Amino acid sequence: MSDNLKYTAEHEWIKIEDGDVAVIGITAYAQDALGDLVYVDLPDVGRKVAKGEDFAVVESVKTAAEVYSPVSGEVVGVNDNLSNDPELIKKSLEEGWIAKIKMEDAAEIAGLMDKEAYDKFVAEQDH
Amino acid sequence: MTSKTPLYDAHIKLNAKMGPFAGYDMPLYYGEGVMAEHEWVRREAGLFDVSHMGQIILSGPEALAFVEKLTPSSFGKIPEGRAKYTVLTNSKGGIIDDLIITKRGPDRFFAVINAGCKEKDIAWIKENLPSGVTLERLDDRALIALQGPMAEQVLRDVLKVDTEGMPYMWMIDAELSDGTPYYISRLGYTGEDGFELSVPADIADGVWTRLMQHGAVKPIGLAARDSLRLEMGYCLYGHDIDENTSPIEAGLSWVMGKENTGFIGAGRILSQKEDGVERQRIGVRLTEKGVAREGAEILSAQDMRKIGTLTSGGFSPSLKEGIGQGYVESDWAQAGKKIFVSVRGRNIAAEIADMPFMQARTKSMKKAA
């Protein structure tokens, strides 16, 4: 079943808005692995990120996880609500997104997994 | 190769997330997660498998002199039953391990040593062992910790042991209903009232299961054990202390006995006590949002110069803020001094803090009259 999202092997989800803006969050698999979230280190708006670069860090009681950008572009929005309530990440796509990146090359998302491929990837991780 | 404790099957049954620690496959956390486990221990009673730790006995006519050679503490005048936190020191004055030694008799001492240091400690003890002392490994025993404000009630309800009036840092002998002897120590590494039960390995699962049936008890993994001890400012061996840190630098001079001047490494340690040290272990409290962990650099807030390094750090579930401990230049070892901790290039505002970060709720060490 498709959900119009794209996924990475680092367990980020990507939703495309307005044709060239990638909204990025972390998947339920990553949320489970991290456990209780206590802090999110957000990037500055305007920051340029390269594909594969880490642009945010999600801290849980147990560990810190970097969030990697699946695309190159410029940060055009961050979810400031996460500063006060990092657990929002787990609530929904609308409330739990981390950052929006305006893509330089929208073709970069073509190489990412769709839901079916990602589910299969996650199933393999657990075995 | 990883070892298993006698409670391994119990953890699997409880769906623990297992992970390697000091050569053992240990429960890191159970279903509810670290935060809930941490809070449960501060409010109710948590059950911990600490069977990976080593249990040994040193006995014989020279045992007292020997433990006072291995550690800077004094054991001569303390009563039988008293337990002491102390350190094994090397000839350079560094710390080989931190441990609890309990006086069981005039010539008999029970010790619990860190899992990761077990073989090293035993080799060290053997190397220094005088002919008048016997070292016995109690590898056939499990160690179960029950920690939290409800711990005393749970012991009364489940094991029918009344520990009211039993002092902190104290050990008694007890018997299960079938007559099996075991030891109960009133101590722990969480800052709460609590106990450690040393039981034969083959009945550990039964004792664990019975304790688990009590409504105030939940199992707690190593991750919450770490956040609980960090809030108390207790040292984690291999991180906050090691063979290159002395008890003086580590702020552990309180373990030293006044009369004991003949322990291994005394030359270096006693002169440090007299003359001071260049770096000291301190607490760090983040005054801005964030989490700083082991390895983060500590910077002066005046000129951003590096003045030390964090050796432990994380989020405090009780205080809801980032805390840590580390070493700084001695001039900076004063609560309230403004610093930054550097995390991935971001400088987070922080200050040097007194430890513990919150009041311990352990019982009095005095014996009830």
Convert the pLDDT of each residue in A81-118 to its tens digit. 999 999 999 999 999 999 999 999 988 888 899 999 99
pLDDT at B368: 61
Is residue B337 in a domain? yes
Question: pTM, whole model, 2 decimals?
Answer: 0.93
pLDDT at B367: 72
Is residue B359 in a domain? no
The interface pTM score, or ipTM, of the predicted complex is 0.83
Among candidates A88, A99, A111, which has minimal Cα distance to A49? A99
- Spatial distance between the Cα atoms of B218 and B48, rounded to a whole number of angstroms: 9
Does B31 share its domain with B150?
yes
Q: Which residue has the tokens 């020279």?
A: B62
Does B191 share its domain with B296?
no
Sorted by sequence, the CB contacts under 8 Å of residue B65 that are 6+ apart come out as B130
**Chain B residues in contact with A39 (beta carbon < 8 A):** 289-291, 315, 322
Kind of pairing between the strands at A64-68 and A73-78:
unpaired
Mutation to test the A interface, candidates B35, B222, B225, B347, most A Cβ within 10 Å: B35
Is residue B366 in a domain? no
Is A122's Cβ below 8 Å from some Cβ in B? no
Does B226 share its domain with B288?
no
Extended strands (E) in A4-86: 6-7, 12-17, 21-26, 37-41, 48-49, 54-60, 64-68, 73-78
Give the structural domain span for B17: 8-50+139-231
Does B285 share its domain with B224?
no
Could B35 and A35 be called an inter-chain contact, meaning their C-beta atoms sit closer than 8 Å? yes
Distance from CA of A74 to the nearest CA of B (A): 20
pLDDT at A3: 77
Does B216 share its domain with B282?
no
pLDDT tens, N- to C-terminus, chain B (369 residues): 789 999 999 999 999 999 999 999 999 999 899 999 999 999 999 999 999 999 999 999 999 999 999 999 999 999 999 999 999 999 999 999 999 999 999 999 999 999 999 999 999 999 999 999 999 999 999 999 999 999 999 999 999 999 999 999 999 999 999 999 999 999 999 999 999 999 999 999 999 999 999 999 999 999 999 999 999 999 999 999 999 999 999 999 999 999 999 999 999 999 999 999 999 999 999 999 999 999 999 999 999 999 999 999 999 999 999 999 999 999 999 999 999 999 988 999 999 999 999 999 999 988 765
Could A35 and B29 be called an inter-chain contact, meaning their C-beta atoms sit closer than 8 Å? yes
Looking at B212, B231, B250, which one is the last position of a domain?
Answer: B231
Q: pLDDT class for A125, splitting at 50, 70, 90?
A: confident
What mean pLDDT value characterizes chain A?
Answer: 93
What count of other Cβ atoms lies within 10 Å of the Cβ of residue B18?
Answer: 19
- Spatial distance between the Cα atoms of A15 and A23, rounded to a whole number of angstroms: 5
Q: Which residue has the tokens 């056939």?
A: B140
Query: Which CATH code for domain A6-122?
Result: 2.40.50.100
Distance from CA of A108 to the nearest CA of B (A): 27
H or E, element range at B204? helix B201-212
* Count of domains observed in chain B: 2
pLDDT at A2: 61
Does B296 share its domain with B156?
no
